[in-house]
Amino acid sequence: MFQHAIVKIPCKAMINGITDHPELGVPDYEKALAQHAAYIEALKKCGVDVTVLPPDEAYPDSCFVEDPAIVTKYCAIVTNPGAASRKGETAAIAPVLEQFYPKDKIFHITDPGTLEGGDVMMCGDTFYVGQSARTNAEGIRQLGEILGQFGCKVVAVPLTEVLHLKTGVVYLENNCIWMNGTVIVPAGYPTVQAAVESLGYPVLVCDTSEFRKIDGGLSCLSLRF
């Protein structure tokens, strides 16, 4: 069961967030704020306490808190984002992790290793990690060394088609939009929603249209642990 979630309010500069889909248009900031507020409510409905961090104008993509950290039941890991404009996001997330984890259970991915949390899919004690434009082999090696201490296995997954591993795949038991038995599904994907419902999961729907414009989805918007 997850007890906690961490989110960060989108900053105005999100309209300049990194995107591979400029054809979707520029995010509407007010709409993004409303969608983010609804997302927080959906998380709360799933029974977790939500730590809401203030917006940080220095980092356009900083609302995607999933990328600068990895949170597990054993430890937390401050990542080293591969995107130059996102590297500094780790400084703000590290002290927040200290509220939840003892210092000796907080680890760091360091240069030349790069890794973004969006590439890390936790399935029980096995962590599938996308080797992507953002996460390199050395980052995955460091993660394997950290998680290996706790008996966890790290499996690299070469990626070419999508930004992050979890852009393409979600694991419904212990990961992503699975929240304590409920599955939060993005609005506008009726086939996915029907498939998840047919598996017997209660579903909550959240509109993420403004975050999609900067390549972000539901899971990127929170850390869940």
Interface with ligand CIR by CB under 6 A: which residues?
17-19, 61, 64, 66-67, 83, 86, 118, 163-164, 166-167, 214-216, 220
Q: How far is CA 110 from CA 60, 106, 122, 131, 222, in A?
A: 22, 13, 21, 16, 22
First to last CA, the chain: 8
In the complex, least distance from residue 198 CB atom to ligand CIR, rounded to whole angstroms: 26
In the complex, least distance from residue 164 CB atom to ligand CIR, rounded to whole angstroms: 4
- Give the dihedral sign, CA 17/56/84/75: negative
Contact 203, 24 (CB under 8 A): no
Q: How far is CA 58 from the centre of its chain?
A: 19
Catalytic residue among 36, 152, 164, 176: 164
Please give the structure tokens belonging to residue 153. Answer: 């296995």
CA torsion angle 77 162 55 38 (round to 10): -110
The full 3-state SS of 65-86, as one line of letters, equals CCCCEEECCCCEEECECCCHHH
- The answer to whether 220 is a known catalytic residue is yes
Report the residue number, 16 or 182, with the smaller CB distance to ligand CIR.
16
- The answer to whether 63 is a known catalytic residue is no
In the complex, least distance from residue 52 CB atom to ligand CIR, rounded to whole angstroms: 18
Report the residue number, 42 or 120, with the smaller CB distance to ligand CIR.
120
Report the residue number, 64 or 149, with the smaller CB distance to ligand CIR.
64
Which position's Cβ is nearest ligand CIR? 118
In the complex, least distance from residue 66 CB atom to ligand CIR, rounded to whole angstroms: 4
Report the residue number, 66 or 210, with the smaller CB distance to ligand CIR.
66
Residues that are catalytic: 164, 220
